[in-house]
Amino acid sequence: MGTDNSPVPDVEGAVLAAREMTATGDTIVLIGEQSAIQVELKKHDVSGLALEVIHSPQTVTMHDKPSQVHRTKPESSMAQGLDLVKQGKADAFVSLGNTGAVLALATLGSLRRIPGVKRPAITTFLKVKDRMIIFCDLGANADARPEWLVQFGIMGSIYAESVLGYQTPTVGVLSNGEEEGKGNELVRAAAALMSEESRLKFIGNIEPKELIAGKADVVVADGFVGNIALKSMEALGDYLFGLMKSKVLESSSLLVKIGAVLMRPALREVYREVDPFEIGGAPLLGVNGVVITGHGRSNAKAVKNAIGQAKRAAQSGVIAKLQATFAGGEDA
Amino acid sequence: MGTDNSPVPDVEGAVLAAREMTATGDTIVLIGEQSAIQVELKKHDVSGLALEVIHSPQTVTMHDKPSQVHRTKPESSMAQGLDLVKQGKADAFVSLGNTGAVLALATLGSLRRIPGVKRPAITTFLKVKDRMIIFCDLGANADARPEWLVQFGIMGSIYAESVLGYQTPTVGVLSNGEEEGKGNELVRAAAALMSEESRLKFIGNIEPKELIAGKADVVVADGFVGNIALKSMEALGDYLFGLMKSKVLESSSLLVKIGAVLMRPALREVYREVDPFEIGGAPLLGVNGVVITGHGRSNAKAVKNAIGQAKRAAQSGVIAKLQATFAGGEDA
């Protein structure tokens, strides 16, 4: 029930995923308002697909306060989905809804943190020349401590290795300058800790242009800075695409309009390369189970890809590796 | 001597400015390596222009550490220019060089802070539909206190009123969500103070997309976050323009290439609207004199526009207004 247009892309994405995954023995469980889901399912050919529906009487919206959802909506589809993972009845949970609510429900209510992990992180993938960069935290922790950033780097590395298949992933910290000593107090302290951390291949400060250029495989920031950086990029991208469109539409020149039509294949390629739907979803790192969250704007392709990411994460055994890595660490 | 291609655009920009300003009685003083400046001046028709040259034996580069420049290069063109303002021999100083060095020299060495101002701020203008937004701090203070952000808002408002001619400018704080209560500790504390500050028309939290949309006339952030937000936007803009160019160049389709040529007028309009050279420079707020800094990438037009901004600021009496506003306040 999570996308802005739910349950339309949610159900279609699940059907698309089921067409690929039923053959490999996977079942996709749709949790939400049963009648609405059934209406959508009827639009597709679902014969032979391993799709189940679980009715949920409550839906978490973007307006729900994350910290209160476990009390105000105890029987939400989110809570039910996370419980399935906790009980071992599902291998992963995917949500395109309120990420803060998923995080709150997962950490406070059901899955909880992996023992030894001090704070979970919300991540995203950035696609750089067909390679994925893991970028976190996007807002789980608006204020962070240096050692949390170190753990984000370790968790990101393990995920990059286990799920994305990278060998010795490189890790950087987002900063306002690449030189050592740049950054605010938090970044300088975190960089000092990371450079001494044997479980990390730390390559230092990463500026936004280096983040986009893919200089590091994993880039960490506190949740406030990570969120602002990502939203600044999204905002400028939307602005530029919008401006370009409006300049063509407003143009009185027929040649400009013809030019825009002729250029369309190249523009489509540009868009394909920055297409956020290509990726679909990214993990909540540090919760004790595979949880993949994606953007509310997601279309069916994005939903399908988020489910694919969930499957790869579940199969990789990344949670067990994270548990082993942090076992014995302090918990606060 | 400040631009990346100095002194070529620096001198040409000064000549362009002098052509407009000599008639109104203004003199432009070029400070730097005299022989290099003379070589450039000979390329232009400078007859009748009020241009002076002051030789400086030292040039601050982007590699100089800001905090050490006053000791390592005491006779730099930057130091000399700021001294002219301090001594009342110049009404304003413009630099396209190392902003951190200008700031350090101005605050530590010569002009110092306006009494009552706790910290200066590095600003930039963002152009939104032919209107300027003042955005700061871009890095004067990587770590900030809530009351500094309040002062940035007040200084930005006074500058917007005095120099840009805005009536009752609106002020916002950059945050990861527009709802009250969003933000990190610093932002929440600053927002609480700003909403009680009678000298501000505070309109609350501003997300990056609202910053770009021009929702507030003045947007404040700590220097680390402001720097990351601006660099994230710059990086994505460069990336998208570069990607578009490369997709057209790589395309094997003649039609795409023809389309790109036909679309050029519209693309040029897009670029014109986001053209950083249009603005040229923005003030260091809080130092005791008019100091305008611009980007090292500046071309002659940008240099000319930065000088124009300096003239408008000097004529507006904004420094006197800032002095009157903060007089009697504590200094640390």
* DSSP calls for B205-244: EE-HHHHHHT--SEEE--HHHHHHHHHHHHHHHHHHHHHH
Spatial distance between the Cα atoms of B100 and B61, rounded to a whole number of angstroms: 11
Residue B28 has pLDDT above 80, yes or no: yes
Q: Which residues are bridge partners to A136 per DSSP?
A: A123, A220
Cβ(A120)–Cβ(A285) below 8 Å: yes
Which of B99, B224, B238 has the highest number of chain A CBs within 10 A, making it the mutation to test binding with A?
A: B224
Mean pLDDT throughout B115-129?
93
Spatial distance between the Cα atoms of B222 and A224, rounded to a whole number of angstroms: 12
Percentage, residues of chain A above pLDDT 70: 98
**Cis check: omega of the bond before A7, within 30 degrees of 0:** yes
Please give the residue that has the higher pLDDT: either A66 or B266: A66
Structure tokens at B300: 């002659």
Residue A87, class by beta-carbon neighbours within 10 Å (0-12 exposed, 13-18 middle, 19+ buried)? exposed
Say whether residue B268 is in contact with chain A using an 8 A CB cutoff.
Answer: no
Q: Do B233 and A236 touch (CB under 8 A)?
A: yes
Instruction: List chain B residues with CB under 8 Å of A254.
Output: none
Instruction: List chain A residues with CB under 8 Å of B143.
Output: 184-185
Size of interface A-B (CB pairs under 8 A): 172
* CA-closest candidate to residue B180, choices B191, B194, B196: B191
Facing B142 at nearest CB: one of A184, A240, A262: A184
Residue B175, class by beta-carbon neighbours within 10 Å (0-12 exposed, 13-18 middle, 19+ buried)? buried
pLDDT band at B272 (very low <50, low <70, confident <90, very high): confident
Residue of chain A with shortest Cα separation from B185: A143
Q: What is the pLDDT of residue B245?
A: 84
Chain B segment 205-224 residues within 8 A of A by beta carbon are 207-209, 211-212, 222-224
Residue B326 has pLDDT above 90, yes or no: yes
Residue B115 has pLDDT above 90, yes or no: yes
Residue B331 has pLDDT above 70, yes or no: no
Q: What is the pLDDT of residue B330?
A: 67
Q: What is the pLDDT of residue A257?
A: 84
**What are the strands of the beta sheet with B121-128, ordered from one edge?**
B92-95, B290-293, B282-285, B121-128, B131-136, B218-220, B170-174, B201-206
Cβ(B220)–Cβ(B174) below 8 Å: yes
Say whether residue B231 is in contact with chain A using an 8 A CB cutoff.
Answer: yes
User: Residue for token digits 């029930």?
Assistant: A1
What does the pLDDT look like over B143-192, one tens digit per residue? 999 999 999 999 999 999 999 999 999 999 999 998 888 999 999 999 99
pLDDT band at B255 (very low <50, low <70, confident <90, very high): confident
What does the pLDDT look like over A215-266, one tens digit per residue? 999 999 999 999 999 999 999 988 888 888 888 888 888 888 888 888 888 8
Say whether residue B320 is in contact with chain A using an 8 A CB cutoff.
Answer: no
Cβ(B36)–Cβ(B7) below 8 Å: yes
Say whether residue B60 is in contact with chain A using an 8 A CB cutoff.
Answer: no
Residue B75, class by beta-carbon neighbours within 10 Å (0-12 exposed, 13-18 middle, 19+ buried)? exposed
Mean pLDDT throughout B23-51?
97
Q: Which residues are bridge partners to A121 per DSSP?
A: A285
**Cis check: omega of the bond before A275, within 30 degrees of 0:** no
Say whether residue B187 is in contact with chain A using an 8 A CB cutoff.
Answer: yes
The stretches in chain A having pLDDT less than 70 are 276, 330-332
Which of B126, B211, B232 has the highest number of chain A CBs within 10 A, making it the mutation to test binding with A?
A: B232
Q: What is the pLDDT of residue B332?
A: 54
Q: Do A232 and B236 touch (CB under 8 A)?
A: yes
Question: Residue A65: which region, alpha, beta or left (left: phi > 0; alpha: psi -120 to 50)?
Answer: beta
pLDDT band at B307 (very low <50, low <70, confident <90, very high): very high
Say whether residue A263 is in contact with chain B using an 8 A CB cutoff.
Answer: yes
pLDDT band at B130 (very low <50, low <70, confident <90, very high): confident
Angle ∠(B97,B100,B106) on CA atoms, nearest 5: 95
Q: Do A262 and B266 touch (CB under 8 A)?
A: no
CB atoms within 10 A of CB A156: 27
d(CA A191, nearest CA chain B) in Å: 15
Q: What is the pLDDT of residue A111?
A: 95
Cβ(B95)–Cβ(B102) below 8 Å: yes
Say whether residue A72 is in contact with chain B using an 8 A CB cutoff.
Answer: no
Instruction: List chain A residues with CB under 8 Å of B264.
Output: 259
Say whether residue B258 is in contact with chain A using an 8 A CB cutoff.
Answer: yes
Question: Residue B109: which region, alpha, beta or left (left: phi > 0; alpha: psi -120 to 50)?
Answer: alpha
Percentage, residues of chain B above pLDDT 70: 98
Contacts of A69 (CB under 8 A, 6+ apart): A60, A76, A78, A79, A98, A101, A104, A105
Chain A segment 165-184 residues within 8 A of B by beta carbon are 174-176, 183-184
Distances (CA, A) of B277 to A324, B240, B272, B303, B304: 54, 19, 9, 8, 9
Spatial distance between the Cα atoms of A308 and A30, rounded to a whole number of angstroms: 15
Spatial distance between the Cα atoms of B94 and B2, rounded to a whole number of angstroms: 9
Spatial distance between the Cα atoms of A325 and A156, rounded to a whole number of angstroms: 12
Residue B110 has pLDDT above 90, yes or no: no
Sign of the CA dihedral with B67 first, then B68, B70, and B76 last:
negative
Q: Do A259 and B258 touch (CB under 8 A)?
A: yes
Instruction: List chain A residues with CB under 8 Å of B225.
Output: 224-225, 228
d(CA A28, nearest CA chain B) in Å: 33
**Cis check: omega of the bond before B137, within 30 degrees of 0:** yes
Percentage, residues of chain B above pLDDT 90: 80
**Cis check: omega of the bond before B7, within 30 degrees of 0:** yes
ipTM, interface predicted TM-score of the complex: 0.92
Q: What is the pLDDT of residue A110?
A: 86
